[in-house]
């Protein structure tokens, strides 16, 4: 996945929504600038597989969730700077989604679950977005490091591909579990989900 800056003007979240290009691709507001994110086909395949698996679970259990790859959420950095983040896969309470059907697919409310797939700028997912999603109060955050690009602190030595599930604790801080190989990914939102790391990596 590559990123390219589209604007040098420092924008607010509202201005980002107004000026965001209509071209193909995903866009984020990072440090006041519009950044275009281009994903590889492999990246898209893995994201689609997880989204489809979650949608099937929602349909099976008739849960009140919406799954999308088009949602942008407003987050705040530690120093209060507005960001616009676009998770690879978002799960949101359908009641929140349907509260304003005419609005754009941008939210100020926390998602139920956000999934990010690690690219070469792995610090974004493991550090920046993790802090912002925790601050926003996203209950569950997955980091899918299918290329083992992250730090050895997370991936071990030698580094191994893994899926990390971060959950908010009682004081609003993330704690994580690492899943590898044939491990079933344990989700708080979808406790009956039968999805293994191997299945994700084969997608």
pLDDT band of 5, cuts 50, 70, 90: very low
Q: Residue 67, CB half-sphere, CA atoms under 13 Å: how many? A: 19
Look at residue 6 in the predicted model and tell me its pLDDT.
Answer: 47
Q: Check residues 22 and 195 and name the one with the higher pLDDT.
A: 195
Q: Report the C-alpha gap between 13 and 10 in whole angstroms.
A: 10
Q: Which domain holds residue 174?
A: 40-202
Q: Report the C-alpha gap between 183 and 17 in whole angstroms.
A: 39
Q: Does residue 13 carry a pLDDT above 50?
A: yes
DSSP string over 35-82? EEEE--HHHHHHHHHHHHHHHHHHHHHT-SEEEES--EEEEE-TT--E
User: Does this model's pTM top 0.75?
Assistant: yes
Q: Is residue 4 part of a domain?
A: no
Number of domains in the chain: 1
Give the three-state DSSP class for 99. helix
113-158 pLDDT, tens digit per residue, is: 999 999 888 999 999 999 999 999 999 999 999 999 999 999 999 9
Q: Does residue 19 carry a pLDDT above 60?
A: yes
Q: Is residue 128 part of a domain?
A: yes
Spatial CA neighbour of 2 closest among 88, 85, 121, 90: 121
Q: Is residue 146 part of a domain?
A: yes
Task: Take residue 102 and report the two structure tokens written for it.
Answer: 């005419």
Specify the range with the lowest mean pLDDT, choosing from 23-32, 50-59, 140-149, 164-173. 23-32
Q: Is residue 35 part of a domain?
A: no
Q: Does residue 185 carry a pLDDT above 80?
A: yes
Q: Does residue 8 carry a pLDDT above 80?
A: no
Q: Is residue 20 part of a domain?
A: no
Q: Is residue 52 part of a domain?
A: yes
pLDDT band of 7, cuts 50, 70, 90: very low
pLDDT band of 102, cuts 50, 70, 90: low
CATH number of the domain residue 164 falls in: 3.90.1570.10
Look at residue 156 in the predicted model and tell me its pLDDT.
Answer: 93
């Amino acid at each position: 996945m590559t990123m390219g800056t589209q604007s040098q003007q420092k924008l607010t979240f509202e201005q980002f929504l107004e000026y965001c290009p209509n071209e193909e691709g995903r866009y984020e507001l990072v440090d006041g600038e519009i950044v275009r994110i281009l994903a590889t086909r492999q990246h898209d395949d893995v994201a689609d597989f997880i989204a489809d698996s979650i949608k099937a679970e929602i349909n099976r259990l008739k849960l009140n969730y919406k799954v999308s790859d088009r949602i942008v959420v407003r987050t705040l950095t530690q120093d209060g700077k507005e960001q616009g983040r676009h998770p690879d896969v978002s799960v949101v309470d359908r009641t929140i989604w349907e509260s304003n059907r005419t609005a754009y697919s941008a939210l100020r409310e926390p998602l139920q679950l956000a999934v990010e797939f690690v690219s070469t700028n792995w610090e974004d997912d493991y550090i920046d977005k993790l802090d912002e999603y925790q601050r926003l109060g996203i209950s569950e955050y997955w980091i899918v490091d299918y290329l083992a690009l992250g730090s050895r602190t997370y991936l071990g030595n030698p580094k191994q591909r893994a899926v990390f599930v971060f959950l908010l604790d009682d004081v609003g801080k993330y704690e994580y579990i690492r899943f590898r190989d044939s491990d079933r990914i344990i989700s708080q939102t979808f406790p009956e989900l039968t999805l293994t790391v191997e299945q994700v990596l084969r997608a």
